[in-house]
Structure 1
Amino acid sequence: MKRVLISDKLSEDAVEVLKTRGIEVTFEPGLGKDPEKLKAALPGHHGIAIRSATKMTAEMIEAGTDLKVIGRAGIGVDNVDIDAATATGIAVMNTPFGNATTTAEHAIAMMLSLARQIPQANESTHQGKWEKSRFMGREITGKTLGLIGCGNIGSIVADRAQGLHMKVVAFDPFLTEARAIDLGVERVELDDLLKRADFITLHTPLTDQTRNILSKQALAKTKKGVRIINCARGGLVDEEALYDGLESGHIAGAALDVFEKEPATEHKLFGRDDVICTPHLGAATTEAQENVAIQIAEQIADYLLTGAVTNALNMPSVSAEEAPKLRPYIDLAGRLGGLAGQLAPGAVTGVEMAFAGTAASLNPAPMTAAALTAVLRPAMREAVNSVNAGQLAKQRGIQVSETRTETSPNFGSTVSVKLTTDKGELSVTGALFGGEPRAVRIGNVRLESNFAPHMLYVQNKDKPGFIGNLGKLLSSKDINIATFNLGRAAPGGTAYALLAVDQPLDDDTLKALSDLPQIDEARMLSF
């Protein structure tokens, strides 16, 4: 039975989702705040569902010896060491859409509150004051809103802002002109946004490239009287520079839901009339919490039970609908990768995947990942699987490519793996027969063979007596042949044989085979 640990406060609906799917659940919502207890609890669990309190560091990931998946209920994964998870072969998933609307609405609410000084006016009125002239606000109609980041949340903010009759400009390196037109926003460079925006709101993850994107230098380029809203991630705004800008009067106000260090119980920005602060409430609505909890539970269950991959940050996505169709082809690609990897001469420098017929219409990434895993596994000391195979190949300078063709000669659908090495090239091709994987070609030689745990590969001269001599030697060693498949390039030329045998051949038997006059090479393969 699969086991999942929930170490942060999640809706109990998530527990029910997992249990309904037949998964055993350990529900300890306060565990993430105690690293030592968390480390001790991780072994034996195949998945973990977290929010922001649990820090899945490299040390925690190493402790989770049985982990297959880390699921973050929410969008931010800065509390997960994705590189360490990938290297260990653990999938990392989040729920980027479950709280997008809630966070966008909070940003709009913060902008309106900032423009009209609503929190300050509320506090003053509760104190029995009637300071109508003190709280002179600003209209947002006709003003320019600058979006830094125009992904899931940013695009919703843009839509809401346009409904408020604002002009929206956006800076996002991944925003295409066509997408900008669809959203009704103007795509601009960052410097242009800084000069033009009356309000600036941030909706980008925290990375090395975005850290302090609103730096002292950037804030100095903004329009005098600008107002800053950050409901994304602490660290995107240089808080010292923001304070200085507020002090000088260049920045009219700021609304912050996130801080560089959280929980932020003390801060020099606190207590200012021109600053509104909330305690990381962007995703804190009943609807959002329910959505992300249920979504991450379903994603974890799908991955552990069916192999479906949704919203993964370190491996290709495979929908629940795709998974059953892909599974036999993933198996085929893995077997072919294993065959090619065990036969290829020298160190692998390139892997070329070719998909034809039905296979060409499917998502190629999982098939390529399966083949890479099998190619790399014999030469790797560290664990390799579909999560980290691409990363490991890249680290070793292995070039990976894919080609697709609509039709497949001789077969309805084929998958091919071609390896380039420092000593030459080798290609193998396979197809499905009744859903079962078979090799159908080695190089340019047609050869149909199933896959078995123990297989004998023989390259030989196509001459009479080969089969008899081979069978006689194996019989003398009490080696039983389960299947025997032959192929040749031309009469009397090079031929190949793939035999399924009941047990591996020892070194002495392999040497005896290699010494037979017709045999050029003999080796054991395992699958």
Structure 2
Amino acid sequence: MAPKVLVSDKLSETAVQIFRDRGIDVDFMPDLGKDKDKLAEVIGQYDGLAIRSATKVTPTILAKADNLKVIGRAGIGTDNVDKEAASKKGVIVMNTPFGNMITTAEHAIAMMFAVARQIPEASASTHAGKWEKSKFMGVELTGKTLGVIGAGNIGSIVCDRARGLKMKVVAYDPFLGEEKAQKMGVEKVELDDLLKRADFITLHVPLTDQTRNILSKENLEKTKKGVRIVNCARGGLVDEAALAELLKSGHVAGAAFDVFSEEPAKENPLFGLPNVVCTPHLGAATTEAQENVALQVAEQMSNYLLTGAVENALNMPSVTAEEAKVMGPWVKLAGHLGAFIGQMTDEAIKAINILYDGQVSEMNLEALNCSVVAGIMKAVNPDVNMVSAPVIAKERGVKISTTSQDQSGAFEGYIKVTVVTEKRERSIAGTVFSDGKPRFIQIKGINIDAEIGAHMLYTTNNDVPGIIGTLGNTLGSNGVNIANFTLGRSNQGGQAIALLYVDDEVPAPVLQKLKDTGMFNQVRPLQFEVA
């Protein structure tokens, strides 16, 4: 059955056609997002939801979204999506951070020109029939120092454009390395140094706890007299009231803002001040950008729904289409390992330790971790998936650790999962053979080679004669067919295990008959999602 997607905001027809061309059943209702009651009524039918900013995805909406797997936001900002609620529901939230990079960077440059030459005020004056040529004395950008706060995707484009304007560029970004800064042709500096030296300051960072109010009253007072400040990134990065006072005092010569602490901005301390240029969040507002992000979100959602590729997700590790092909069997194995331990563990889990050996250690370990944790958590909550499992584990205080190492044994790669509880540690390891099928290769330190089926039976016992016969006779006489039978032991006369792949679920009375023989320490039926 084809996945079904709802487009509840105004995406282009070209983007909608992408879904159709990929074989996805799509309903295009561009005004539905404004009607939260109607959206809640129909959302349960859909696997995917494509939106812009008009649709508000609240916990109430998500509570009704029983089949929803992915939300795609055509654009960067996802404030209109409750990401915590989506994660708990197991819904991936994607955005399109690269579709409007050039547009936003160009807007920042345009705003810099506008405030440097007082273009909006001069335009308004000229429209009014005045000819105030001497009133609007501007400054050149050439030769000035531009301070860029945040040298990521958009910030780096601004740096490149500014260098083309013959500006000297200094950049503050904790994640910018010296080598990368040299390639960009910018000087990497600390924030205080940037504030003291810059003639223009432009911000290009997301709003986080670390960046909120990064241009506080204290930092604004450290700036060079006559500085001009541009913010086309996010509201809340600048103390707008403090900036207004410094504009009035003349310490700051001008400001150009496209974003504000509260939007839509009906009132703001910056409004009405001379040489302050304001635009209504137009950073991404070009025809090209709007088309780009719409096409991008349609491709990303289609890729996920059809191939499992995860791109630009905010609550899930990204997995490219190429990675998804290679990692698919390993993701399944990781889930099976987690499912085995989850079904075997009755006590509260304190920690999950995951070891990756050989070729698998070079893969996307974050995604594999999610699959392991999801497999474990499904034992108590079948609705858990790779998105919601890490959130639930964190809420329960479960510590997750990862170790990777070079090939250390006979297998080209394997995964070993160990769970720690108050009473014990329990471990299992598995690998993927060349046929692409996952196998269990070790349980409780005992080596085995077990094919994984939907219905399995796990037993432990002391290594004594008669175990195979007892299992075969009891299951056979009760109509349970064995597809695969694997044995292992620690040493002669020591601990032994059996793992059987059976055609159907073993009935409870049959399990009880095995227990009643007195030959087994444990008798556990296991279920695995093998499709």
TM-score (normalizing by structure 1): 0.94
Gaps of 5+ in 2: none
TM-aligned CA distance change 1:230 to 1:363, over 3 Å? same
User: In structure 2, the residue corresponding to 1:158 is in which secondary structure?
Assistant: helix
Q: What is the aligned partner in structure 1 of residue 290 from structure 2? A: 289
1:397 counterpart = 2:397: yes
Deviation track 1:234-256 (CA, whole Å, cap 9, x = no partner) reads: 22223322322222222211111
Does the alignment pair 1:273 with 2:274? yes
> Is 1:174 equivalent to 2:175 in the alignment?
yes
- For residues 490 and 346 of structure 2, the distance between their equivalents in structure 1, rounded to whole angstroms, comes to 19
Measured in 1, the distance between the counterparts of 2:336 and 2:61 equals 33
Aligned match of 2:128: 127
In structure 1, the residue matched to 2:112 is: 111
Q: Counterparts of 1:234 and 1:327 in 2: how far apart (Å)? A: 41
Question: Counterpart of 1:426?
Answer: 426
> Partner amino acid for 1:192?
D
Q: What is the correspondence of 1:501-520 to structure 2 with a 5 Å cutoff?
A: 501-520=502-521
* Cα deviations by residue, 1:207-266 (Å, 9 ceiling, x for unpaired): 333333323333233222221111112222233223222222222111111223333345
Report the CA distance between 1:330 and its aligned residue. 0.7
Structure 2 residue aligned with 1:407: 407
AA aligned opposite 1:281: L
Paired letter, 2:482? I
What is the rounded CA distance, in whole Å, between the counterparts of 2:183 and 2:388 in structure 1? 36
Q: How do residues 47-446 of structure 1 correspond to structure 2 at under 5 angstroms?
A: 47-267=48-268, 269-344=270-345, 346-380=347-381, 383-407=383-407, 409-433=409-433, 434-446=435-447
Q: Higher mean Cα deviation, 68-77 or 178-187?
A: 178-187
- Residues 436-467 of structure 1: per-residue CA shift (max 9 Å, x gap): 11212213222111122221111112222222
In 2: Cα distance, 1:351 partner to 1:73 partner: 36
Q: Name the % identity.
A: 56
- Give the deviation of 1:344 after TM superposition: 4.2
Summarize the alignment of residues 430-509 of structure 1 with structure 2, pairs less than 5 Å apart. Answer: 430-433=430-433, 434-509=435-510
Letter in 2 for 1:155: S
In structure 2, distance between residues paired with 1:521 and 1:496: 9
State the 1:105 CA deviation: 0.7
Q: Is the 8 A contact 1:337 1:417 kept in 2?
A: yes
SS at match of 2:321: coil
Q: What's the offset of the Cα at 1:20?
A: 0.5
- Separation in structure 2 between the aligned mates of residue 30 and residue 218 of structure 1, nearest angstrom: 44
The answer as to whether partners of 1:461 and 1:493 remain within 8 angstroms in 2 is yes
AA partner of residue 397 (structure 1) = G
Deviations 1:301-340 (A, max 9, x none): 1111110011111111111111111111111111111112
Rounded Cα–Cα distance in structure 1 between residues aligned with 2:254 and 2:283: 19
Q: Which runs of 5+ in 1 are unaligned?
A: none
1:345, 1:424 within 8 Å by CA — same for their partners in 2? Answer: no
Matches of 1:474 and 1:27 in 2, distance apart?
54
Equivalent residue pairs, number: 526
Task: Rate the CA distance shift 1:146–1:63 in 2: closer, same or farther, 3 A.
Answer: farther
SS class of match (1:217): helix
**Secondary structure in structure 1 of the residue aligned to 2:181:** helix
Change beyond 3 A, Cα 1:222–1:60: farther
Give distance in 2, aligned partners of 1:407 and 1:249: 65
Structure 2 Cα separation of the partners of residues 372 and 139 of structure 1:
57
Separation in 1 of the partners of 2:393 and 2:229?
43
3-state DSSP of counterpart to 2:379: helix
The 2-side partners of 1:286 and 1:177 are apart by 36
The question of whether the paired residues in 1 share the 8 Å contact of 2:163 and 2:169 is answered with: yes
For the residue of structure 2 that corresponds to 1:492, the secondary structure is coil
Opposite residue 157 of structure 2, the aligned amino acid is: I
Shift of 1:298: 0.4
For 2:186 and 2:54, how far apart are their aligned partners in 1? Answer: 36
Taking the aligned partners of 1:268 and 1:59, their CA distance within structure 2 comes to 35
Question: Is the contact between residue 352 and residue 401 of structure 1 (CA under 8 Å) also seen in structure 2?
Answer: yes
TM-score, length-scaled by structure 2: 0.93
Q: What is the deviation of 1:31?
A: 2.7
Separation in structure 1 between the aligned mates of residue 190 and residue 56 of structure 2, nearest angstrom: 35
SS in 1 for 2:428: strand
Residue type of the alignment partner of 2:121: Q
Q: What CA distance in whole angstroms lies between the structure 1 residues aligned with 2:487 and 2:225?
A: 80
For 1:163 and 1:47, the matched residues in 2 are separated by 42
Cα offset for 1:108? 0.5
Q: Decide whether the 8 Å contact of 1:103 with 1:153 is kept in 2.
A: yes
Two-structure CA RMSD over aligned residues (Å): 2.1
Per mean C-alpha deviation after superposition, the further-off stretch among 388-397 and 306-315 is 388-397
Report the secondary structure of 2:461's partner residue.
strand
Which stretch shows the higher mean deviation, 412-421 or 78-87?
A: 412-421
Offset, 1:120? 1.9
